[in-house]
């Protein structure tokens, strides 16, 4: 679980790219060059874990840069190594893995067109369910107008509740449309839909975390929150 102390993490203003066991700094020019080669947009997968969802998205959208970001770099190293292979060997030149916490987004990450956050835990879970307006606003400020978000909440975080969900009740489609939607709106996130996902929809996400949960539980509760986010006046 990500700790609250982020002092060991990279500073703002550089993209710390994970490629297998190595970690490289990508400067603004190199990042801009990558964006230029894939002009379809920029998907940011917050708390990417082992990065499997990034591979699926990068394959599905070959004209788009797909960035998997996580406060802990080790789980994504293997996937990042696979993505860095030559395309003929299954590499995905539009996939990038970045070691950073959501609270300390590298300044190069701007013009984001899609924010994904699948099965968050730790401080990332707290940020999206409390919700923490400062974190949500900072992400929205990095987005292009009309950017879309997808958050999938593992409802077992409330069964029983983990510390990060605080005193919040397990969200339902109805309650999400109420208080949570209001708090999101104040941070520049417009919640459009909140739906339970069935097994097929969960499988289509390409996250291995749900497979792990699915193998150990009779029923898998996942609530998907979708909507639009973007810079607000004054950002
Ligand atoms: C349960 S895993 C889910 C991984 C992946 N999204 C999936 O669905 O397979 C949650 C991830 O969130 C990451 N995380 C937690 N707090 C974070 C933060 N503040 N910033 C970035 N990542 C964070 C953790 O390191 C972990 O990899």
Name the residue ranges covered by the structural domains of the chain: 14-110, 111-230
pLDDT of residue 233: 64
Q: How many other CB atoms are there within 10 angstroms of residue 170's CB atom?
A: 16
pLDDT of residue 9: 46
Ligand 1: residues within 6 Å at CB? 2, 47-49, 53, 70-72, 75, 101-103, 118-124, 207-209
Q: Any residues with CB less than 8 A from the CB of 44 and at least 6 apart, and which?
A: 67, 69, 109, 112, 114, 115, 116, 139, 142
The topology under which CATH files domain 111-230 is: Rossmann fold (3.40.50)
pLDDT of residue 5: 54
Provide the whole-model pTM. 0.92
Residue 49 gets the label, from left (phi > 0), alpha (psi -120 to 50) or beta, of: left
pLDDT of residue 212: 63
Dist. CA 72 → ligand 1 center (Å): 8
In tens digits, what is the pLDDT along the chain, a chain of 235 residues? 444 455 444 445 678 999 988 999 988 899 999 999 999 999 999 999 999 999 999 999 999 999 999 999 999 999 999 999 999 999 999 999 999 999 999 999 999 999 999 999 999 999 999 999 999 999 999 999 999 999 999 999 999 999 999 889 999 999 999 999 999 999 999 999 999 998 888 888 888 766 666 555 556 799 999 999 988 765 4
pLDDT of residue 11: 46
Dist. CA 63 → ligand 1 center (Å): 25
Q: Of the candidates 105, 80, 75, 99, which has an alpha carbon nearest to the alpha carbon of residue 91?
A: 80
Q: Which residues of 43-74 are buried (b: 16+ CB within 10 A; e: fewer)?
A: bbbbbbbbbbbbbbbbeebeebbbbbbbbbbe
Instruction: Collapse the DSSP code of 113 into the 3-class scheme (helix H, G, I; strand E, B; otherwise coil) and give the result.
Output: strand
pLDDT of residue 230: 86
Query: In the Cβ-directed half-sphere of 179, how many Cα atoms lie within 13 Å?
Result: 10
Dist. CA 2 → ligand 1 center (Å): 8
Domains 14-110 and 111-230 share a fold: yes
Report the CATH superfamily, name and number, of domain 14-110. Vaccinia Virus protein VP39 (3.40.50.150)
Distance CA 105, CA 119 (A): 19
pLDDT of residue 211: 63
């Amino acid at each position: 679980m990500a700790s609250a102390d982020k002092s060991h993490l990279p500073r703002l203003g550089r993209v710390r790219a994970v490629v297998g066991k190595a970690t490289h700094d990508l400067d603004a020019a190199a990042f801009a060059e990558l964006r230029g080669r894939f002009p379809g947009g920029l998907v940011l997968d917050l708390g990417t874990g082992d990065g499997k969802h990034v591979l699926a998205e990068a394959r599905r959208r070959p004209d788009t840069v797909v960035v998997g970001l996580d406060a802990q770099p080790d789980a994504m190293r293997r996937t990042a190594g696979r993505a860095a292979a030559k395309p003929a060997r299954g590499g995905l030149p539009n996939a990038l893995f970045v070691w950073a916490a959501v609270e300390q987004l590298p300044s190069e990450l701007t013009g984001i067109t899609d924010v994904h956050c699948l099965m968050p835990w730790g401080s990332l879970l707290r940020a999206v369910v409390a919700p923490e307006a400062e974190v949500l606003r900072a992400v929205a400020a990095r987005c292009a107008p009309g950017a879309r978000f997808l958050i999938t909440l593992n409802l077992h975080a409330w069964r029983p509740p983990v510390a990060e969900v605080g005193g919040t009740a397990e969200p339902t489609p109805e309650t999400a449309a109420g208080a949570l939607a209001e708090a999101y709106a104040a941070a520049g996130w417009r919640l459009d839909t909140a739906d339970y996902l069935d097994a097929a929809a969960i499988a289509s996400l390409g996250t291995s975390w749900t497979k792990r949960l699915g193998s150990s539980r009779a029923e898998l509760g996942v609530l998907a929150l979708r909507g639009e986010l973007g810079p607000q006046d004054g950002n």
